[in-house]
A and B are shown apart, each in its own frame.
Chain A
């Protein structure tokens, strides 16, 4: 540990490595957004005090390497099949907090029917989607959420809807299903967005624990490697391309589906507010 040493008269306001990770080391590329989402939901579990009744189910993607380092009971599932495995777990252990972790290739390509049926069934689990619009693990190929114009290894000139079809806005789709009680789309391109996403995880888990139905948190994450952009450009690329189509916000709260216009207006306010607070010294500050 270098840089600076903490002086004696300070208080620590955040640990470097989330407490529910056995180690902070991971194989994600520089500038990857997935670890930020992982921190978010692990801190939400910690904050709710339910780590000792949590069971996770992981899909197959880059994030699968967190299966080995996440310190909760975990079942490693197949590509696309985590929601049904989680269903079996939840029905056998209804008191557990059960969540799935999947990428867009896993959930929206390979396993689309699984997550839709699970949501429609109102299964009392939380599905977490890390959506970066590419198959990161295979090296940057088009997925069902890749946005028009986005360059991938098999859409070199950008996704052309007349040739490659249109992206699926999975959060919007799930929000329309009666079994879904809470649906949110977070992002990790700014510190404020990361903090908002962590609050979404908390609400999703609270929804599950209250027994009111299926909960879903999609997180749009940076994949500079798969997007072929420098790491520093990742957040801007996310905001301007994926973020413009997969709009951040709470899509469904207490059974009410919210409009994209409503979300956009809220996002502008929330981002400005977070920037003001951070400039004043922290998200807990009132400038």
Chain B
């Protein structure tokens, strides 16, 4: 360790935990589930070393509740799970959003079938979380720190959309060593104002203590909606490559975008005018940037490991300016936890080239049944 950075060869889960601890995260609660489990393991080892707390919660319901309390009490805190586990947490995640609590959530998804879940509000009500989708471990480290900062800046939950590959791949990463700046949280409950007539209330309902201004439910929900519009205008981020002269643009996010990037580079070397577009934030979706890129292209391809979820946002952004062609599909290994044979640079390149030539797509590769 020297200077302002530290280089290390780390598994994605461990790198994320190191980044979270470096960002001042001092509380984590989770329930084991593949491929989220290692995140919990590393937090349970690391947080006590820095005076923090990691709770091995009895279920995802308890995990999100504990994280809710820890954030309300003023800690930088996080929870997480897979998409399945987040389904159990959704009720609380909606209320945490309405209570304006800066919680960070790690969705270590089993694939890319949780895009709608992550970007369509995570539960009931008019709520959205900021969703960052790192392409590799290096970016996951940066995103983890950003997540805590964005959450604090807006008093709004932020999610990291990771997956099996991100969690389990070892990469050489650079960890920031400059200390995190955790802002004051005068709204947090610390118990010191009891009996003063100025005690605090953290409520998803927009209610205030008697004698203080209470916006009421409607005005409170409208204020949250307006804040989400401001977040949408300020936080959308995209990573764009080789799109200036591209006839075909391939949209992909998260670790599969890494395979798309490699496939496009290979096809470029073959003289094909193809570019790639990667939403870095899934919500807010960088629709303006995509519309700008798509305006000069003849077709937009969408590669994702699902039956078609990201493609909804792509179509909304492109708005008919170019045909949108889904070239991904469901792809999982026999365990259901990992990625299937679709995630292969050669397979991806073949599908991109077919769509680029307006030819029919080859059939999806069969990942095999149970061993």
A complexed with B: yes
A residues in contact (CB < 8 Å) with B: 19-20, 22-23, 45-46, 50-55, 57, 67-78, 81, 83-93, 96-97, 113-114, 117
Chain B residues 47-70 with CB under 8 Å of chain A are 53, 55, 57-59, 61-70
Q: Kindly state the separation between the CA atoms of A117 and B66 in the bound complex, as whole angstroms.
A: 12
A215 to chain B, nearest CB (A): 17
Whether A67 pairs with B201 at a CB distance below 8 angstroms is: yes
Q: Kindly state the separation between the CA atoms of A20 and B204 in the bound complex, as whole angstroms.
A: 23
Residue B200 interfacial (CB < 8 Å): yes
Whether B189 pairs with A55 at a CB distance below 8 angstroms is: yes
Q: Kindly state the separation between the CA atoms of A45 and B189 in the bound complex, as whole angstroms.
A: 17
Residue B72 interfacial (CB < 8 Å): yes
Inter-chain contacts of A78 with B (CB < 8 A): 65, 91-92, 95
Query: Which residue of A has the minimal Cβ distance to B91?
Result: A78
Query: Which residue of B has the minimal Cβ distance to A57?
Result: B69
Of B53, B68, B194, B202, which is within 8 A of A72 by CB?
A: B194
Whether B70 pairs with A52 at a CB distance below 8 angstroms is: no
Of A68, A76, A87, which is within 8 A of B55 by CB?
A: A87
Query: Which residue of A has the minimal Cβ distance to B192?
Result: A52
B residues in contact (CB < 8 Å) with A: 26-27, 29, 53, 55, 57-59, 61-75, 77, 91-92, 95, 99, 189-197, 199-205, 207-211, 214
Whether B194 pairs with A20 at a CB distance below 8 angstroms is: yes
Query: Which residue of B has the minimal Cβ distance to A45?
Result: B194
Given A84-B57, A85-B66, the answer on whether A92 and B195 have CB atoms closer than 8 Å is: no
Main secondary structure on chain A at its contact with chain B?
mixed
B257 to chain A, nearest CB (A): 35
Given A52-B195, A54-B191, A97-B191, the answer on whether A88 and B211 have CB atoms closer than 8 Å is: no
Inter-chain contacts of B95 with A (CB < 8 A): 78
Inter-chain contacts of A55 with B (CB < 8 A): 73, 189-191
4 closest Cβ pairs, A-B complex = A88-B69, A84-B65, A51-B194, A72-B194
Whether A71 pairs with B195 at a CB distance below 8 angstroms is: yes
Inter-chain contacts of B208 with A (CB < 8 A): 68
Q: 13 extra interchain contacts, Cβ-Cβ under 8 A, other than A22-B210, A85-B65?
A: A23-B210, A53-B191, A67-B201, A68-B208, A72-B193, A73-B193, A75-B69, A76-B99, A84-B61, A90-B69, A91-B66, A92-B26, A117-B62
Given A55-B189, A88-B72, the answer on whether A68 and B201 have CB atoms closer than 8 Å is: yes
Q: Kindly state the separation between the CA atoms of A88 and B65 in the bound complex, as whole angstroms.
A: 7
Whether A92 pairs with B75 at a CB distance below 8 angstroms is: yes
Query: Which residue of B has the minimal Cβ distance to A85?
Result: B69
Given A20-B195, A72-B195, the answer on whether A114 and B61 have CB atoms closer than 8 Å is: yes
Query: Which residue of A has the minimal Cβ distance to B71?
Result: A88
Instruction: Pick from A51, A77, A113 the residue with the most CB of B within 10 Å.
Output: A77
Whether B194 pairs with A114 at a CB distance below 8 angstroms is: no
Q: Kindly state the separation between the CA atoms of A128 and B82 in the bound complex, as whole angstroms.
A: 33
Inter-chain contacts of A22 with B (CB < 8 A): 197, 209-211
Inter-chain contacts of B58 with A (CB < 8 A): 113, 117
Inter-chain contacts of A70 with B (CB < 8 A): 199
Inter-chain contacts of A87 with B (CB < 8 A): 55, 62, 65-66, 69
A228 to chain B, nearest CB (A): 29
Q: Kindly state the separation between the CA atoms of A78 and B99 in the bound complex, as whole angstroms.
A: 11
Given A76-B203, A117-B58, A117-B62, the answer on whether A88 and B68 have CB atoms closer than 8 Å is: yes
Inter-chain contacts of B29 with A (CB < 8 A): 88
Q: Kindly state the separation between the CA atoms of A72 and B193 in the bound complex, as whole angstroms.
A: 6
Whether A75 pairs with B189 at a CB distance below 8 angstroms is: yes
A14 to chain B, nearest CB (A): 17
Q: Kindly state the separation between the CA atoms of A219 and B91 in the bound complex, as whole angstroms.
A: 28
Q: Kindly state the separation between the CA atoms of A51 and B197 in the bound complex, as whole angstroms.
A: 11
Q: Kindly state the separation between the CA atoms of A86 and B204 in the bound complex, as whole angstroms.
A: 16
Q: Kindly state the separation between the CA atoms of A113 and B193 in the bound complex, as whole angstroms.
A: 31
Q: Kindly state the separation between the CA atoms of A64 and B62 in the bound complex, as whole angstroms.
A: 21
Q: Kindly state the separation between the CA atoms of A54 and B194 in the bound complex, as whole angstroms.
A: 7
